[in-house]
Structure 1
Amino acid sequence: MNDMAGAVDAAELVDIPLDRFFNPWRVSVTTSAREFVEGIVRDVEAHERDQKLRLRRRRPTDQETFEATVSAVVCDLVHAVISEAEAGFVVSRSFQDLGRRSRYRAPALNKTFPGLLDVLGAPGLGIVRQDLGFQRFQKPGQRTRLLPGAGLLRRLGSVPLQFEDFHEDRAEVLILKAEKQGHWDNGKLVEYPETAETSKLRTEVRRINTFLRGADLNFDEGVVELTRPLDLTNRQLKRIFNNGRFNSGGRLFGGFWQPLSKKHRLAALTIGDEAVVELDYGQMALRTLYGLEGKSVPHGDLYAIPGLEGWRDGTKTLVNALLFSEGKRTKKPQGTKTTLPPKASAGELIRRISEFHAPVAHHFGTEVGHHLQFIESEVMMGVLLQLMEESIVTLPIHDAVLAPWSKRDRVKEVMMDVFEKRVGVGAMVTLTE
């Protein structure tokens, strides 16, 4: 068990970026939060009447959209205040963006959204402050930024709301991204038809999210000094697939624990009042590749290539680059200047790796890494679902999980078993506590 005393350097925390996008799926879940939001809705309606901004009542469907939009803005602004996120968040006021229907778009993001923001920012209300965005010809523009207004902060002074008063609701948890068109492209969201497969994938993620929502998770901020409060209610996982296919990628992203450093997770996170351990699949991509080929995995460290002893980190980086590259690679990966032999050419290094891994080397340069990542994600889903059936809480971090100390042996056993059944070869699982 990890028994670390004293505060850990806050610089070791991979913190949430100051700039973030509006989360229109955040809702109030307690009586005090609902009453807070409803009070603002009534004040907005009164302001519209007093300023003669509306001459008639909204139709029922329009009223529902109006209330949902006000609620979403208010809930996320309050969350920004609690998070001490002074920079607020950015939004789009573009009618082109807001007019498109999408499974990823919340009801709050509609063509009435910009006008309602202006009302919320009116002097008589002061719920929001807007730093309006702009576009520039052939240069990057700036999105509109929303910040808590004086009226909102004044109301919060008498109603001390907390993270527990809100949670994210109804957001799409099955994300499909297009193939990236260059280094700086993050991959556009892809609309996809609903099928039995997508329904099954989504149901699995939502089952895990429901299970985690009720888990007893705590983080001792007396042991780890964070740069801002940590939202322990942030447990919504999303499964993200790449290249426009549901057999590419598929890792789980989300959860307050993922951005934390490994050191901080082990020092301060508890599950059911127990310290946690981290169990990682080792050499997973190469082992999976051997399994797909029906070949025996070489004994020992798969990154310990003859002739490259002492250069393991750089060798691992190069192997992963080969798995995700398209075509013959002629250069060393970025960042390997000091981790690979400086006098050896990329061709020489690749030749050594290919000779050692001859049974699977024909996959190098075929972008097989995306499919290997999918299999990794399927293994991880299998592990989480199996442990959930046994009421064991585990928190995923790509190819690793955090687990209660007392359950470490059972979790490792399940990880080994699921991997071997899915891949056909034995797994390597390492434990850190």
Structure 2
Amino acid sequence: MSTIEKDRFFDPHRIGRTPASRSVISTVIGSILEYEERHSIRKRKRKDKDRLTFEATITAVICDVMHAELTQEARDLVISRSTALLGGANPHKHLAENANLPRYLDYLSSTELNWITQRKAERGFFGQRTVIEPTGKLSDLMAEHQVELSDLGRAKVSDIISLKAAREDHKDKGKKIKFEETPQTQELRSRLSAINDWIGSADIGFDEWALKKDRLIDTQKRTLRRTFTCGSFECGGRLAGGFWIDIKKEERLEGLTINGEKVVSIDYGQIGPRILYSLAGKQPPCDDLYQIPGIYNCPRYREGIKKTWNSLTFIEGMPVRKFQGTRKLLPPNMTVIEIIRHIKDAHPDISHLLGTVIGHKIQFVESEVMVEALLRLKDKGIVALPVYDCLITPQSAQSEVSAIMIDTFRDITRVDINVSA
């Protein structure tokens, strides 16, 4: 059985982009049709709608297995066979996520066809998780058609926005919630789709020599998603999903190119505290909000204050001990209660918001700023890639992007901010 933390879950949106990968898919689909005919499984041809679902399902499985093979993915590729999950109605669910998927997996892994292997798992918290892998037969077919990573792509993702319930504790990841379409959700989807279309058509490259550890990077993985939290479309919503987000910062700056040009990372400064002041309807009192009177002016203590501040926005009430990872970054002779008192004394206008789980609201405002900045840059013909509260952009566009980031933040929050590259 696979371990949840090490799993790489099935991505149903993968497709073949070139004749090479499509030839593999066509061969596999043809073998299943012959298998069904040979065993008298079907007595009549599928209707057009059912045929599309069948082909989409086989395409998704084979393309995702090929992707795992080409990227030499170390994690297990897992897929759900749960009829409760696959059979439910969901307008944003992919065609491949249907009640017939387990049957097709059995066809593909049968001794006769032998395209994939399955290791079926017991029912767990996230439903049945089955590990799938390519067989030597599929690997040989890929080699015959010289399939490479660039031969695979991703179809447009319909569920680019999702909603999760509030977490019960720090171990709870938040249950996904079905939601009704409203003008608000349609607007959120439309704005993000425009950004995805722009980034999807951009000239973005990555030199894998920049990586410290050998692995293949799928530069076609560009579809951004937003996951909203606490059961509200005004909480969370940070942009995620792009291939560049999972690459270390130094490797990003070294290996990424946009329009053939080296890139620069432009970061918002102290964006969390400044949004907090905006939510309180107040203006920040100073340039550096992490410089707290009463706590020694030491670079590592400033980093400890920053981590403590951010953690305070994701808990209810006050902690009794220093947050994880901050013990060595804070004065050893001060308790967390004393440190928080100094923070509150330095920022009386927002002290009442600390310890109120307002961090999800802060993330929403941050994500709205990023979406608006990306749309403004799109209108200027400038490609930028978001990484939480920073943008990766061509070096030649640094000044213009910086100005747009500053203006966008001010327009949305009514608070000034600086950026740094």
Once residues 105 and 58 of structure 2 are traced to their aligned partners in structure 1, the CA distance between those partners, rounded to angstroms, is 9
Once residues 141 and 234 of structure 1 are traced to their aligned partners in structure 2, the CA distance between those partners, rounded to angstroms, is 26
Aligned to 2:345: 355
Identity across matched positions, percent: 37
1:101, distance to aligned residue in structure 2 (A): 1.7
Structure 2: runs of 5 or more not aligned? none
- Helix, strand or coil at the partner of 1:23: coil
Q: In the alignment, residue 352 of structure 1 is paired with which amino acid?
A: H
Aligned to 1:166: 152
Question: CA contact under 8 A between 1:87 and 1:147: conserved in structure 2?
Answer: no
Q: Say if 2:239 is the partner of 1:249.
A: no
Aligned to 2:360: 370
Question: CA contact under 8 A between 1:215 and 1:393: conserved in structure 2?
Answer: yes
Q: Say if 2:134 is the partner of 1:148.
A: yes
- Helix, strand or coil at the partner of 1:258: helix
Once residues 288 and 242 of structure 2 are traced to their aligned partners in structure 1, the CA distance between those partners, rounded to angstroms, is 32
Question: CA contact under 8 A between 1:178 and 1:187: conserved in structure 2?
Answer: yes
- Helix, strand or coil at the partner of 1:380: helix
Aligned to 1:302: 289
Question: CA contact under 8 A between 2:80 and 2:127: conserved in structure 1?
Answer: no
The worse-fitting range, judged by mean Cα deviation, of 352-361 and 308-317 is: 308-317
Once residues 319 and 167 of structure 1 are traced to their aligned partners in structure 2, the CA distance between those partners, rounded to angstroms, is 41
- CA offsets per residue over residues 249-276 of structure 1, 9 Å max, x none? 1110011110111111111111112111
1:104, distance to aligned residue in structure 2 (A): 4.3
Aligned to 1:49: 37
Q: In the alignment, residue 101 of structure 1 is paired with which amino acid?
A: A
Once residues 173 and 241 of structure 1 are traced to their aligned partners in structure 2, the CA distance between those partners, rounded to angstroms, is 11
1:244, distance to aligned residue in structure 2 (A): 0.9
Q: Say if 2:7 is the partner of 1:19.
A: yes
Once residues 87 and 366 of structure 1 are traced to their aligned partners in structure 2, the CA distance between those partners, rounded to angstroms, is 37
TM-score w.r.t. the length of structure 1 is: 0.91
Question: CA contact under 8 A between 1:326 and 1:365: conserved in structure 2?
Answer: yes
Aligned to 1:232: 219
Once residues 210 and 313 of structure 2 are traced to their aligned partners in structure 1, the CA distance between those partners, rounded to angstroms, is 40
The worse-fitting range, judged by mean Cα deviation, of 287-296 and 303-312 is: 287-296
More helix by share: 2
The worse-fitting range, judged by mean Cα deviation, of 79-88 and 150-159 is: 79-88
Q: Which of 60, 65, 68 matches 2:56?
A: 68
- Helix, strand or coil at the partner of 2:185: helix
Once residues 358 and 210 of structure 2 are traced to their aligned partners in structure 1, the CA distance between those partners, rounded to angstroms, is 42
- CA offsets per residue over residues 201-249 of structure 1, 9 Å max, x none? 1011111111111111111223434431111111110011111101101
Aligned to 2:100: 112
Q: In the alignment, residue 42 of structure 2 is paired with which amino acid?
A: R
Across the two proteins, how many residue pairs are aligned to each other?
Answer: 413
Structure 1: runs of 5 or more not aligned? 1-16
Q: In the alignment, residue 295 of structure 1 is paired with which amino acid?
A: K
- CA offsets per residue over residues 356-407 of structure 1, 9 Å max, x none? 0011111112222211111111111111000010110100001000010010
Question: CA contact under 8 A between 1:278 and 1:400: conserved in structure 2?
Answer: yes
C-alpha spacing 1:198/1:333, structure 2 compared with 1 (3 Å): same
User: Structure 1 stretches (4+) deviating beyond 6 angstroms?
Assistant: 139-142
TM-score w.r.t. the length of structure 2 is: 0.93
Aligned to 1:207: 194
Q: Which of 260, 264, 272 matches 1:273?
A: 260
Q: Say if 2:112 is the partner of 1:124.
A: yes
Q: Say if 2:392 is the partner of 1:392.
A: no
Once residues 329 and 248 of structure 2 are traced to their aligned partners in structure 1, the CA distance between those partners, rounded to angstroms, is 23
The answer to which structure, 1 or 2, has the higher relative contact order (CA under 8 A, 6+ apart) is 1
Q: Say if 2:415 is the partner of 1:425.
A: yes
C-alpha spacing 1:115/1:31, structure 2 compared with 1 (3 Å): same
Aligned to 2:172: 185
Once residues 412 and 65 of structure 2 are traced to their aligned partners in structure 1, the CA distance between those partners, rounded to angstroms, is 44
The two structures, once aligned, show a CA RMSD in angstroms of: 1.9
Q: Say if 2:305 is the partner of 1:315.
A: yes
Question: CA contact under 8 A between 2:14 and 2:63: conserved in structure 1?
Answer: yes
Once residues 112 and 90 of structure 1 are traced to their aligned partners in structure 2, the CA distance between those partners, rounded to angstroms, is 17
Question: CA contact under 8 A between 2:208 and 2:255: conserved in structure 1?
Answer: yes
- CA offsets per residue over residues 328-382 of structure 1, 9 Å max, x none? 3333212222112233222211111000001111111222221111111111111
Q: In the alignment, residue 414 of structure 1 is paired with which amino acid?
A: I
The worse-fitting range, judged by mean Cα deviation, of 333-342 and 255-264 is: 333-342
Question: CA contact under 8 A between 2:86 and 2:97: conserved in structure 1?
Answer: yes
Once residues 405 and 304 of structure 1 are traced to their aligned partners in structure 2, the CA distance between those partners, rounded to angstroms, is 31
Once residues 378 and 336 of structure 2 are traced to their aligned partners in structure 1, the CA distance between those partners, rounded to angstroms, is 45
